[in-house]
Amino acid sequence: MSSLTARAEILLQTLIKRYIADGLPVGSRTLAKQAGLDLSPATVRNVMADLEELGLVRSPHTSAGRIPTQAGYRLFVDSLLKVDKEQFNAKTLHEIEEELSSVKDPKKLITTASGLLSHMTRLAAVVSVPRRNEKLQFRQIEFVGLSNNRVLVILVTRDGQVQNRVIYTDHKFSPSELVQAANYFNQAFGGFSLEEVRKQLLREMKQDSLAMRQMMRDAINMAKPVFDEESSSKEDLVVSGESNLMDIPDLGDLKTLRRLFDTFTAKRDLAHLLDESVRREGVKIFIGSESGYEALEECSVVTAPYKMNENIVGTLGVVGPTRMSYEQVIPIVDMTARLLSGALSLDDS
């Protein structure tokens, strides 16, 4: 890739900014005035011809101006775009921070973050709900007998998260049996991480030594499903502000919109996309078909991972038209990820 002349870069940059601003193809005349380079339209035309040859811009038809191609956007966000981290004033930032920190429940926190994101960007927001962290410490288990040989198993972690599930047993347990089983279990595994507990359970079941009392065996059998479930629980997503996309003229096509909405509902593709972003810190951008999903062809996705106590646990992002204001969206996504990380980490004292 031969590097562009400084002039070409400036022109490309102004073209893209202009196009992002009003969505109309930009002509040489406009561009010449806008760029502040004191060039004639004719010269600009020559440069545009070069850019077109490089595949960075194209004209929708002969007598229209130029619009950026996907490659053009790519170059733009990679090297032409200077993101002003301070761009949204400290006041707004503070409001957001407050709004987030006022929410106690982690699940609600995710929803709130998603809502904020879509509200600020006026685009669709996606936040991945972190799968339950295996590092969490096991605190307590509780068995509650129900009718018909059913037992309600309640699992509590050290930070106060609760998971529960009804299981079926092969015979009826008396209340005191259940209490005993729970006591045994709590003593045996208290303070372990969920991961360790599950591993240990597997081991115990394999051995199944004769020395093991029936009661312990029951306790383990009853508890096992709850510990298994969480590991198989697939990551979920919270989506909000989808309908914002209906106001965007670029996606005016009902067909496109329909596929987009179906993607949001199915969530599968989006989940994959967010997963991509989970590995590395910082904002990541998928432009058009870079996402690899047909439904997102006309869209860009801006994502950033968020952390909980220094571990990346999930990703958030927004989906909008390729012609979105990256300048504004990027810092918003970035900050929201940071603030969410902060809010999530605070509580776990």
Partner DNA sequence: TTTTAGCACTCGCCCACCTAGAGTGCCAAA
Partner DNA sequence: TTTGGCACTCTAGGTGGGCGAGTGCTAAAA
| Nearest to DNA of 24, 212 (CB atom) | 24
Interacting residue with DNA among 62, 147, 176, 187 (CB under 7 A): 62
Is residue 246 close enough to count as binding a second copy by CB under 8 A?
yes
Site for a second copy contains 236 (CB under 8 A)? no
Question: Scanning residues 176 to 235, which ones bind a second copy (CB under 8 A)?
Answer: none
Neighbours of 28 (CB within 10 A): 21
Rounded distance, CA 63 to CA 66, Å? 9
- Site of tokens 């004033």: 89
Name which of a second copy, DNA, none residue 232 binds, using a CB cut-off of 5 to 8 Å depending on partner kind. none
Sign of the Cα pseudo-torsion (279, 285, 289, 291, in order) = positive
Range in contact with a second copy (rule: CB under 8 A) among 25-33, 142-150, 311-319, 330-338: 142-150
Which region among 128-136, 141-149, 189-197, 225-233 touches a second copy (by CB under 8 A)? 141-149
User: Residues in contact with DNA, total (CB under 7 A)?
Assistant: 25
Angle between helices 28-35 and 41-53 (to 10 degrees): 110
Question: Of a second copy, DNA, none, which one sits near residue 3, judging by CB under 5 to 8 A according to partner kind?
Answer: none
DSSP character at residue 107: H
Q: How many CB atoms lie within 10 A of CB 333?
A: 25
Q: Which partner from the list a second copy, DNA, none does 63 bind, CB cut-off 5 to 8 Å by kind?
A: DNA
- Contact between residue 65 and residue 30 where contact means Cβ atoms under 8 Å apart: yes
Phi and psi, residue 39, nearest 5°? -115, 155
CB of 18 to DNA, least distance (A): 10
Find, among 19, 33, 10, 31, the residue nearest to 79 by Cα.
10
In the numeric block, the tokens 């300048």 are attached to 327
Instruction: Pick out residues in 13-32 that bind DNA (CB under 7 A).
Output: 25-30
* Residue 66 vs 198, nearer CB to DNA: 66
Among 3, 63, 147, 174, binds a second copy (CB under 8 A): 147
Contacts of 84 (CB under 8 A, 6+ apart): 327, 331
Note whether 148 binds a second copy by CB under 8 A. yes
- Please say whether the dihedral angle defined by the alpha carbons of residues 208, 214, 220 and 221, taken in this order, is positive or negative: positive
Q: Which two tokens stand for residue 317?
A: 């992002």
What amino acid is encoded at 34 in this protein?
Q
Q: Which does 135 bind (CB under 5 to 8 A by kind): DNA, a second copy, none?
A: none
Q: In whole angstroms, how close is the CB of 81 to a second copy at the nearest point?
A: 30
x-marked contacts with a second copy along 261-300 as a string, rule CB under 8 A: xx--x-----------------------------------
Q: Which is nearer to DNA, 29 or 259 (CB)?
A: 29
- The answer to whether residue 146 forms part of the interface with DNA (CB under 7 A) is no
Residue 122, helix vs strand vs coil: coil
